[in-house]
Amino acid sequence: MTHASKTAVAVAVMAAGVLLVSVSYAAGRAGAAGAGHSAAVAVFWLGEAVIFAAPAALVLGRRELADAQAAWLAVALAAATYLVKYLYSPSFFGFPDEFLHLRTLTSLLASHHLLGVNYALPVSPGYPGLEIVTSGLMGLTGLGVFPAGLIVAGLAHLVFTAALYTLFRLVGGASRIGLAAVTVYAANPHYQVFDAIFGYQTLALTFFALALLAVYQATRPGTSRPRVIIFWVLAAVFAAATTVTHHITSYVLLGTAVLIAAAGLLARGKQGLAGPACFAAGAAALVAVWTWRFSPGTVSYLSPAMSQLTDGIRSAVGGQAAKAAGTTALPEPAVDKLASYAVALLVMAVIPFGWRQVWRTQRRDTWALALAGGAAAYYPCVALPLVTADGSEIAGRLLTFVYIPVGYTIAVALTARPLTPLRRAGAAAGAVILLVGGIAMGWPPWWERLPGSYVVDGFESGITSESVAAANWAADALPPGQRIAADYINNLLFGTIGNQSPVNGVAVFYCSGDWSLTDTVLARQQAINYLLVDLRTSRYRPANGTIFQEAGACPAPLARADLAKFDAVPGITRVYDSGNIIVYRLSEAGYAP
């Protein structure tokens, strides 16, 4: 059988895995419960295993991989995982962050201009790369918002993966290393879904990877001068595109350039420092100018998370443990918990073998050193959940970037010695742990791994047609930007689809049976125009333990009497009712201007 035929067989196997995942999703949507639901979840895991088995088998196989075979398999893996994301919500955007960018795009389509207002994610209009490309595709083809968004995110996902494969392949010098590194990377918690949604990071990652690849090609010894110039121009173009598209990705690009400069100094002396250092300086200038001129709100957007992190580190150094985020969360399945611990232990254990191999064979290679050095970031990342309450979320987001060097370092460790049957079996077991642990820690969370069930304020599973209809009503019936208090999901939908201004930190309204003077003062201070009650918050426990944006604000589920009190408050009128969702207007009571 030729390499091409083997590749086609692997692609067919991956497609079979995608079909299995689709079957499990269909069972979830059909309302499978009890043993049926367990069987559907098992089919989901089987589908995922089949998708990843194809590249893993070729990496661990006896025969050498052809260049084209490895490259096309990397792209096929990206396509298969993107299909898994698409199949979860095939008729419209279904992930909360997608709604945030849908708002920025809707404003752009209405005004035909950038840098508008997004009440739910104020920083988003300052990074309009994704919305520009989507609106351009819509303008040229006449496609709707959802298909255009799908195409842009899908193309970005494919190009990102292809660029990563090329970088790994070039640095590692072998197609097996390239495919192994991409497969490990694809098992990171957010690759399959969060980094493929209609979100600004999805597109920025593509520019990020291409910028790095261009810098690699420009600094590669032996490259002709005209090609060096071309690649530096490409590096500048993609660095600028990254800066315009996503804040954190542009900061990571800057940090990576600094790391490469340091590795260049170590590996090749001053000769290895100049190029990456100049690129880092240019990237820093781009970030500074863009933030200062077009997105000054980024600092205030990121500073709460940063101060929480520094406070957490200070407390941890002082011997205090992080506060638990939600005390009434549903219990996480033991298998998921075990898998997430196992993957952390496995990665931490394997990285040193990769370091050893890089030091032995590639210590004069700037990029191999930089990638190996970058893998060290995995250790503090794993410790983050112990340091701060939001540590799990921050660590998960960072792993998108940290898994790039981790993927390379593990791939190098894997290919350091010839694979005996015993080593091959061990590597296969490790691959299973990587995959299961990655999905267990990733998105969607365990309670909504299959679509179709309702979980109050449960991210994707908390979005219902009734909540969406209420948000659509707000968009039609209310002036834009009305300040509204609501639970997490309705806050999100009113802030995005509804084009209203969600207010956080006012959960106290829902926590007692009386409307007190404190509530009146808070409503006036926060200029609350409308207050939304979702009666389902009194019937169900939220999966992650919290109904509101702020963790642990009220015990969940809420008391029905606490939600019914608004009917009796003088001056508060009940302007909307759809059975579960009620909207009250506070303006007439003088609580807001």
Partner 1 sequence: MRPDRIMWGAGLVLAGTVFTGLLLNLVTGLTRLSWTVAFAVAVVAAACADQVIMRRDTDLVKPALVLLRGFRPSRVTGGFLLLAAVLAGGAVWLANAGAGWPRSPGFAQLWLTPATDVTSTLGVRDNLPGQQTFRLVLRADGGQVLGAWDLSLAQGQSWQRTVARPAGSTLIARLGLPGQTLTVTS
Select from 34, 35, 62, 91 the one that contacts partner 1 (CB under 8 A): 91
Part of the chain binding partner 1 (CB under 8 A), chosen from 310-318, 382-390, 465-473, 509-517:
465-473
Residue 347's nearest CA partner among 428, 223, 431, 421 is 431
* Region from 251-259, 459-467, 505-513, 544-552 binding partner 1, contact rule CB under 8 A: 459-467
For position 226 contacting partner 1 by CB under 8 A, the verdict is yes
Q: Per DSSP, what are the bridge partners of residue 574?
A: 584
Q: Please, are residues 124 and 200 in contact by the beta-carbon 8 Å criterion?
A: yes
- Shortest Å distance, C-beta 490 to partner 1: 14
Query: Does residue 21 touch partner 1 according to CB under 8 A?
Result: yes
83 binds partner 1 (CB under 8 A): yes
| 3-state SS record for 252-310 | HHHHHHHHHHHHHHHHHCHHHHHHHHHHHHHHHHHHHHHHHHHCCHHHHHHHHHHHHHH
Half-sphere exposure of 189 toward its Cβ, with a 13 Å CA cutoff?
26
Single out the residue of 207, 403, 494, 591 in contact with partner 1 (rule: CB under 8 A): 207
CA distance 188 to 184: 7
- Asked if 338 touches partner 1 (CB under 8 A), the answer is no
Is the Cβ of residue 341 or residue 576 nearer to partner 1 in the bound state? 576
Beta bridge partners of 532: 583
The Cα 477–Cα 76 span in angstroms is: 46
Among residues 140, 334, 517, 568, the one that binds partner 1 under rule CB under 8 A:
140
Q: Are 70 and 178 in contact (CB under 8 A)?
A: yes
Residue 211: what residue type? A
Applying CB under 8 A, does 206 fall inside the site for partner 1? yes
> Beta 581-585 vs 530-534: how paired, if at all?
antiparallel
Q: Which is nearer to partner 1, 119 or 160 (CB)?
A: 160
Mark residues 165-204: x for contact with partner 1 by CB under 8 A, - for none: -x--xx--------------------------------x-
Which of 156, 171, 186, 431 is in the footprint of partner 1 by CB under 8 A? 156
Rounded CA-CA distance 52/48 in Å is 6
DSSP letter (8 states) at residue 364: T
Could you tell me which stretch among 56-64, 222-230, 259-267, 383-391 binds partner 1 (CB under 8 A)?
Answer: 222-230
The token duo for 431 is 């691959």
Q: Quick one: how far is CA 375 from the chain centroid?
A: 19
Closest approach of Cβ 552 to partner 1, in Å?
29
Q: Which is nearer to partner 1, 210 or 344 (CB)?
A: 210
Applying CB under 8 A, does 514 fall inside the site for partner 1?
no
Q: Which of 343, 370, 478, 493 binds partner 1 (CB under 8 A)?
A: 478
Shortest spacing between CB 243 and partner 1, in angstroms? 10
Retrieve residue 50's tokens: 């089949």
CB of 451 to partner 1, least distance (A): 9
Query: Which residue from 43, 44, 69, 565 is in contact with partner 1, where contact means CB under 8 A?
Result: 69
- How far is the C-alpha of 512 from the C-alpha of 558, rounded, in Å? 9
In the region spanning residues 526 to 585, those forming contacts with partner 1, defined by CB under 8 A, are: 573-580, 585
Q: Provide the residue type at 89 as one letter.
A: S
Q: How far is the CB of 392 from partner 1 (least distance, A)?
A: 29
Q: Are 283 and 239 in contact (CB under 8 A)?
A: yes
What are the distances in angstroms from CA 109 to CA 136, 139, 152, 208, 465?
10, 9, 16, 27, 24
Q: Map residues 227-246 to x or -, x wherever contact with partner 1 holds by CB under 8 A.
A: x------x--xx-xx--xx-
Q: Is residue 8 a contact residue for partner 1 (CB under 8 A)? A: yes
Q: Does 63 bind partner 1 (CB under 8 A)?
A: no
**Which one of residues 36, 61, 90, 513 is an interface residue with partner 1 (CB under 8 A)?**
90
Q: Does residue 465 interact with partner 1 by CB under 8 A?
A: yes
Binding status of residue 128 toward partner 1 by CB under 8 A? yes
